[in-house]
Structure 1
Amino acid sequence: MSETLPAGADFDVLVIGAGPAGLVAAILARKAGAATALLAPPAEPRDRRTIAMLGVSVDILKEAGVFDRVAADSAPLRTMRLVDATRRLIRAPLVEFHASEIGRDAFGYNVPHAALVAALEEAAAAAGVHRIEGTAASIEPEADAVRVVTADGAIVTARLIGAADGRNSPARMAAGIGTRVWSYPQSALVVNTAHELSHDDVSTEFHTPTGPFTLVPLPGRHSAIVCVETPAEAERLAGLDDAALAREFERRAHYLVGRMTIDGKRQVFPLSGLQARKFAAHRIALIGEAAHVFPPIGAQGLNLGLRDAAVFAAVIADHPRDPGAADALAAYDRRRTGDVTLRTSAVDALNRTLLTSLLPVQLARGIGLFALDRVPALKRAAMRQALAPHL
């Protein structure tokens, strides 16, 4: 719920954007001792998307005080399975990653988006984050603070802005931070399903010539499906009736979970990529899709955004006198550059290996996955790095 904005409102930190990454950033900033506000429009109606929270992301949600609130509605991801369904001359072997191989009960949990956001909003209010409903009409960095004027004319100043305002981030533009942007000849169709056989807590990603077809476990005999296709085919699939779409999903899943039924609305998203040239400038730090966007492969997107939020709060704790000072921004940029660049490059490369017809590239991909499958030490190292990177 929005609070009345005090006259001449001034904060240590203002987070713009109330998606999961923005909410976590605001909660952790407040826990770090900063007077914190959150500026965002009124909450929109919840959809039924889910988010795979992996490794350190679960720890971050626990630190924010929300994981216990969403655990009962979430499904554990105990095994991650990669299947080469390209039918090409050179194909990678089937690879399964088991959490038990690195001493974990699960790699993470598939969490309903609506439940997560609701829990985060409650936690933000309980932590003392000042919620301001609205949008930023102007964002003006100054020497000692950033001056934000909302659409209804209110003025807010803060020593540090957390820009969690999406891929078209006005805050990023106000900071003068450029981006590298690219596109893919793909769209993702996302929908929930029910099915007759158990998924056994296994997330299965079929690699096809047009992109991944992924089944991510939900509680019970339900799964979220992410089907990456050409834009025309994604729209065609989205236009099928429920029975026809379910039959198509059964075929693409090789009947792994038996007969399916569609359980909810379909959503289609064009795929693109974005990476900011730097991650902080002029008292503005980029969080989530303001900093990075890439295809839904390996469940890396929001997990990367939560790590942004955790580092954002850690830098605030390290610079309590002025969290937006130049040395604080330099520390944030330095600590996010490697992680973001590595994940963005890896996901982009894997996606492009699926789309290419070049045999050397297919061979390299196959050899890499074969090595992961057959060299236990390498496999364990890869799993640990994917789940708990150094922050």
Structure 2
Amino acid sequence: MEQYDIAVIGGGLAGSVAALAAANEGWRVAFIAPAPPQQDGRTTALLSESIELLARLGVWEDVRSVSAPLRTMRILDGTKRLFRAPPVSFRSSEIDLDAFGYNIPNQPLFDVLQAATRQSGLIDRFESPMADAEQSEEAITLTLEDGTEVNALAALAADGRGSKLREAIGIRVKTWSYPQTALVMNFSHGIAHEDTSTEFHTEQGPFTQVPLPGNRSSLVWAVKPGDVDGILALPRDALNTEVETRMRSILGKVEVDGAVQAWPLSSLIADSFGKGRTMLVGETGHAFPPIGAQGLNLGLRDIMQAIQSIIDAGGPGHAPHAVTAFNRQRRIDVTSRTAGVDLLNRALLSSFLPVQALRAGGLAALSAIPPLRLMAMREGMTPGWRRNGAA
């Protein structure tokens, strides 16, 4: 049986990046990636650290033209509650960055990543799904549904929330859901967005506009599940008016284009982020609502740390040592961001006055105290920047 250095399970965005990152180190990669369906119409806001990773992997220039920079991130209180927060704007120039990152449509990004994995001479793709996995002191053996066995020194599990590999190696997860569904759509508008993303905080959750090239933006709109069918049934003119009204017409006339998709909101976190010779990356180890541009960015940070842990341990042959270090290093970042997103989302939904006051007070402090706002931006961009000696 042929032995690989790294096996990557999962052919989505995170899995494709993981396979390319492993091959970039000169390791032979078994990419267990059944042909996925077309990507949905969503977009992904990738922060500068993630953009730098795509650049190192040689794929950023291929998606730059369909991406829009994020230079200002603005939070507006769209509630009608007693305690309301003042507007808060985070500008990349305040921390000496041209942009916080870029908003990229998922489909073009996915297509570029797929092409790059197929062109790599170090990546062998297996399109049969994984059926089972067994770890030993020397390797991990993956059995595919067509009977093929793949042997590797280490594995990166990127097969999502329902991960078969995570289940096979015995890592449990905690899951919880929210009384929310995210409606996702793209729209054109009459007034330029000026590279600004605006997140309205409402009683039902975030209503977030993110720039696309030209006078276009993407939208993630959290609503009560019972309201979904009524919104989806709206005539397009009525939907345009509803979105424009909720946007307070800050971008002028709105025209929604393409399909509107609905995604129930839930969260997940694994009991550990690795075991034996396997590390969990992306939504295999953690998932939460689309707030604050953390989702895929956190997953790509997993991948970077996993690769670095393997290098520090002496290579894929020393995977157990890498897994131990990876689990320890990712714990604080993942748990703190999962808790932070969960707390903010629940604070928006809560009708308890003290909770509303704390949320409003926290945003007011960020607005009024520049050093606190700068610290929040730097930590959001680079976790542990102070510990790591960032200026």
TM-score band by shorter chain is: over 0.9
1:256 to 250, 253, 259: 250
Taking the TM superposition and a 5 Å limit, the aligned residue runs for 1:366-381 are: 366-381=360-375
2: CA distance, partners of 1:347 / 1:63? 29
1:4 corresponds to: none
2: CA distance, partners of 1:323 / 1:22? 21
1:203 corresponds to: 197
Kindly provide the amino acid, as one letter, of the partner of residue 310 in structure 2.
I
Superimposed CA distance per residue, residues 180-208 of structure 1 (whole angstroms, 9 cap, x where no aligned partner):
11110000000111111111111000000
Residue 109 of structure 2 corresponds to residue 113 of structure 1? no
1:95 corresponds to: 88
Kindly provide the amino acid, as one letter, of the partner of residue 285 in structure 2.
A
Residue 304 of structure 2 corresponds to residue 288 of structure 1? no
TM superposition shift of 1:125: 3.1
1:224 to 206, 218, 221: 218
1:73 corresponds to: 66
TM superposition shift of 1:321: 4.3
2: CA distance, partners of 1:281 / 1:46? 30
User: The residue matched to 2:82 in structure 1 has which SS?
Assistant: coil
Q: Is the 8 A contact 1:99 1:106 kept in 2?
A: yes
TM superposition shift of 1:212: 0.5
| Residues 323, 259 of structure 1: alpha-carbon distance in 2 compared, 3 angstrom cutoff | farther
Residue 328 of structure 2 corresponds to residue 334 of structure 1? yes
1:297 corresponds to: 291
Residue 149 of structure 2 corresponds to residue 163 of structure 1? no
User: The residue matched to 2:374 in structure 1 has which SS?
Assistant: helix
Residue 355 of structure 2 corresponds to residue 361 of structure 1? yes
TM superposition shift of 1:138: 1.2
Kindly provide the amino acid, as one letter, of the partner of residue 42 in structure 2.
R
Kindly provide the amino acid, as one letter, of the partner of residue 88 in structure 1.
R
2: CA distance, partners of 1:309 / 1:185? 31
2: CA distance, partners of 1:123 / 1:306? 17
TM superposition shift of 1:323: 4.6
1:17 to 4, 10, 17: 10
2: CA distance, partners of 1:34 / 1:319? 15
User: The residue matched to 1:138 in structure 2 has which SS?
Assistant: strand
Kindly provide the amino acid, as one letter, of the partner of residue 198 in structure 2.
T
Superimposed CA distance per residue, residues 26-52 of structure 1 (whole angstroms, 9 cap, x where no aligned partner):
111112232112111114224332110
1:60 corresponds to: 53
TM-score, length of structure 2 as denominator length? 0.95
TM-score, length of structure 1 as denominator length? 0.95
1:3 corresponds to: none
Which structure 1 residue ranges, 5 or more long, are not aligned? 1-7
Taking the TM superposition and a 5 Å limit, the aligned residue runs for 1:128-277 are: 128-277=122-271
User: The residue matched to 2:188 in structure 1 has which SS?
Assistant: strand
Kindly provide the amino acid, as one letter, of the partner of residue 87 in structure 2.
L
TM superposition shift of 1:239: 2.2
TM superposition shift of 1:324: 5.5
TM superposition shift of 1:291: 0.3
2: CA distance, partners of 1:267 / 1:198? 25
Superimposed CA distance per residue, residues 79-123 of structure 1 (whole angstroms, 9 cap, x where no aligned partner):
000001111000111101111111111111001111111221222
Kindly provide the amino acid, as one letter, of the partner of residue 80 in structure 1.
M
Residue 23 of structure 2 corresponds to residue 30 of structure 1? yes
Q: Is the 8 A contact 1:284 1:324 kept in 2?
A: no
TM superposition shift of 1:245: 1.1
Q: Is the 8 A contact 1:78 1:107 kept in 2?
A: yes
Superimposed CA distance per residue, residues 133-156 of structure 1 (whole angstroms, 9 cap, x where no aligned partner):
120011122221111111111111
> What's the % identity of the aligned pairs?
46
Which structure 2 residue ranges, 5 or more long, are not aligned? none
1:348 corresponds to: 342
User: The residue matched to 1:265 in structure 2 has which SS?
Assistant: strand
Q: Is the 8 A contact 1:137 1:150 kept in 2?
A: yes
User: The residue matched to 1:354 in structure 2 has which SS?
Assistant: helix
Q: Is the 8 A contact 1:15 1:25 kept in 2?
A: yes
RMSD: 1.4
2: CA distance, partners of 1:162 / 1:232? 38
User: The residue matched to 1:130 in structure 2 has which SS?
Assistant: strand
Q: Is the 8 A contact 1:55 1:388 kept in 2?
A: no
Q: Is the 8 A contact 1:273 1:293 kept in 2?
A: yes
User: The residue matched to 1:162 in structure 2 has which SS?
Assistant: strand
TM superposition shift of 1:234: 2.4
Superimposed CA distance per residue, residues 361-383 of structure 1 (whole angstroms, 9 cap, x where no aligned partner):
11111111111111111111110
TM superposition shift of 1:126: 3.6
Q: Is the 8 A contact 1:141 1:175 kept in 2?
A: yes
TM superposition shift of 1:308: 0.7
Kindly provide the amino acid, as one letter, of the partner of residue 132 in structure 1.
F
| Residues 76, 321 of structure 1: alpha-carbon distance in 2 compared, 3 angstrom cutoff | closer
Kindly provide the amino acid, as one letter, of the partner of residue 97 in structure 2.
R
Superimposed CA distance per residue, residues 210-238 of structure 1 (whole angstroms, 9 cap, x where no aligned partner):
10011111101111010001111123212
How many residues of Structure 1 are paired with residues of Structure 2 in the alignment?
Answer: 384
Kindly provide the amino acid, as one letter, of the partner of residue 98 in structure 1.
R
TM superposition shift of 1:355: 0.5
